[in-house]
Structure 1
Amino acid sequence: MSRETVRQRELEGRFPRASRLTQRCTVWSNRELHRWMADPLNYRAVDAANQTAEGA
């Protein structure tokens, strides 16, 4: 997928949200990426409040 496709799907909640470690380093939650890979068509991102509560 292109960078723009990933960005758009993140905004729509259809791809895991990225976290910026540094200006040039972006990371994703391993757990969320595996959830997305298991079912990319039906994936819906968990909001940040729920992730923190679950200890992710």
Structure 2
Amino acid sequence: MTGWRKSSYSANGTDCVEVGHGVGVRDSKAPTTHLALGPAAWSAFLTAAKADKLTR
């Protein structure tokens, strides 16, 4: 997967969530691993995040 983008909400360059074309998500501290997500799962994640329905 190429074309990773860092979250604009990251406070600095080391503690970031990155999103890749395809769709995948990874932690910038562990760039060799990522969570692959299909379009439906990515859409559901974004919907939940925007509605503040993610648990911590």
TM-score (norm 1): 0.31
Q: Say which structure is richer in helix.
A: 1
TM-score (norm 2): 0.31
